[in-house]
């Protein structure tokens, strides 16, 4: 099924076009001319093989929405709402006339993310790199020297505590049983929440002996409900509901059997693949999410590679995969990679790797480049504060992979917009200076 076509300019000659309403010197207008939108129309058409049914949303609209969403740190609902009132947003996504209604429902962005997958998100990042090269925000030589580091992209979950997890598991099991008409001997709907709240008070008062003593009956409540549902499995007919019950029983069984040092612990029932990562921070000892590898250029801080690494791998083991992604996205292998001391034992041979603290065999040029390694830290900070990297709102491991790459797209576009804005300010200042500068008096030669 092919996407719907844009209305032609001949459809309504009486309506003013967007190009007559907006300032064509605006940075979003200039950026729209630098991105290869035709590629999305050609390649993303393969997601709709059927020729029947309602035409799909135009690919440029979806790609532009995803760019704008992560540039300004907006949700799906917020970016659609701002699109209606912003003519520059509409021009950026390919509209000819100003529209007064939302072009898509916010849920369409979620379905499109599922369609394009991680590969489609990486193509979005590739187009931002090409736009950066075309605008001059990043130079060709800069792609050969990169800085690589890892950070934690936290998941949108509450801080995991045993009491909260046990009580959440019990309530989910009771809700599933009521949905299927199963009769439970006891639901502990009154005792469970009260005991969970009391455990929280004990923990706040640092009365850990009482807290651990109260955890045992709360864990027992969840186990009793679990065994009660398990005894009634034979009466549940095969189907979607039975599969959901089995999945929940397996998940809660893992939760009840795990110990403080068990591998693959569950920290959230709706996100069982979340990792507990310690980065040695004094203010935040543990972060719950996914480790993300970031590769930026040494000169401009332009993101040329970003990938979610599930399972909390050792930093050195992620370097080869990060450099491979940079080579795929930029079509050139980096000659130099600068990393911190956590990448010792990386095993990379095709690229020269400099590690912080290294002193032997360094020329003055390499020493200068090595001092630029810490420049990647503020870039990561900007992605977390100005972008959306601080907390991933998409579900599952595929959501982590998509969200990380889209955050990199937003960071690159912010870099390009700042570069275009600076050039515009410089040109305007030069013109104003030339207009306001008084003419210099001509020098005349007088005879002695």
Phi, psi of 254 (to 5 degrees): -60, -40
> What residues does CATH 3.30.420 cover in the chain?
136-157+275-413
What is the pLDDT at residue 289?
94
What is the pLDDT at residue 261?
87
What is the pLDDT at residue 419?
92
What is the pLDDT at residue 9?
54
What is the pLDDT at residue 359?
84
pTM (2 d.p.): 0.87
What is the pLDDT at residue 426?
64
Domain 136-157+275-413 in CATH 1.20.140? The answer is no
Q: Which tens digit of pLDDT belongs to each residue from 52-70?
A: 667 778 889 999 999 999 9
Please, which residues have CB within 8 angstroms of residue 303's CB and are 6 or more apart in sequence?
A: 125, 294, 295, 296, 379, 383, 408, 411, 412
Q: Which residue ranges of the chain lie beneath pLDDT 50?
A: 1, 442, 444-448
What is the pLDDT at residue 447?
46
Cα 192 to Cα 176, 215, 250, 253: the distances in Å are 17, 11, 21, 18
Q: Which tens digit of pLDDT belongs to each residue from 251-302?
A: 999 999 999 888 889 999 999 999 999 888 888 889 999 999 999 999 899 9
Cα 39 to Cα 34, 173, 201: the distances in Å are 13, 48, 57
């Amino acid at each position: 099924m092919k996407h719907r076509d844009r209305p032609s300019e001949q459809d309504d000659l009486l309506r003013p076009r967007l190009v007559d309403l907006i300032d064509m010197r605006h940075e979003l207008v200039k950026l729209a001319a630098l991105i290869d939108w035709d590629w999305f129309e050609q390649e993303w058409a393969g997601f709709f093989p059927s020729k029947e049914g309602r035409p799909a949303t135009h690919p440029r609209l979806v790609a532009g929405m995803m760019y704008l969403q992560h540039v300004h740190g907006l949700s799906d609902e917020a970016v659609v709402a701002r699109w209606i009132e912003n003519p520059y947003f509409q021009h950026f996504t390919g509209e000819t006339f100003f529209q007064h209604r939302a072009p898509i429902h916010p849920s369409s962005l979620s379905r499109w993310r599922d369609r394009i997958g991680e590969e489609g998100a990486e193509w979005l990042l590739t187009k931002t790199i090409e736009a950066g090269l075309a605008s001059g925000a990043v130079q060709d030589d800069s792609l050969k020297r990169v800085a690589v580091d890892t950070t934690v992209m936290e998941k949108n979950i509450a801080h995991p505590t045993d009491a909260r997890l046990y009580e959440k598991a019990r309530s989910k099991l009771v809700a599933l049983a009521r949905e299927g008409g199963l009769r439970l001997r006891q639901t502990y709907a009154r005792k469970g929440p009260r005991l969970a709240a009391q455990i929280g008070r004990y923990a706040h008062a640092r009365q850990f002996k009482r807290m651990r003593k109260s955890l045992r009956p709360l864990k027992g409540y969840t186990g009793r409900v679990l065994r009660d549902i398990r005894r009634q499995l034979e009466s549940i007919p095969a189907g979607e509901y039975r599969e959901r019950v089995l999945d929940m029983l397996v998940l809660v069984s893992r939760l009840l059997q795990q110990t403080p040092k068990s591998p693959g612990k569950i920290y959230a029932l709706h996100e069982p693949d979340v990792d507990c990562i310690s980065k040695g921070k004094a203010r935040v000892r543990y972060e719950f999410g996914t480790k993300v590898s970031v590769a930026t250029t040494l000169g401009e801080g332009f993101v040329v590679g970003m990938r979610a690494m599930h399972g909390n791998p050792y930093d050195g083991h992620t370097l080869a995969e990060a450099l491979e992604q940079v080579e795929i996205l930029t079509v050139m292998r980096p000659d130099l990679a600068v990393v911190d001391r956590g990448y010792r034992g990386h095993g990379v041979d095709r690229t020269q790797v400099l590690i912080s603290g290294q002193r032997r065999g360094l020329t003055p040029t390499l020493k200068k480049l090595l001092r630029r390694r810490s420049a990647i830290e503020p870039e990561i900070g900007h992605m977390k504060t100005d972008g959306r990297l601080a907390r991933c709102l998409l579900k599952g491991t595929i959501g982590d992979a998509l969200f990380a790459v889209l955050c990199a797209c937003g960071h690159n576009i912010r870099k390009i917009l700042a570069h275009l804005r600076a050039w515009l300010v410089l040109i305007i200042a030069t013109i104003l200076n030339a207009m306001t500068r008084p003419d210099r008096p001509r020098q005349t030669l007088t005879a002695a």
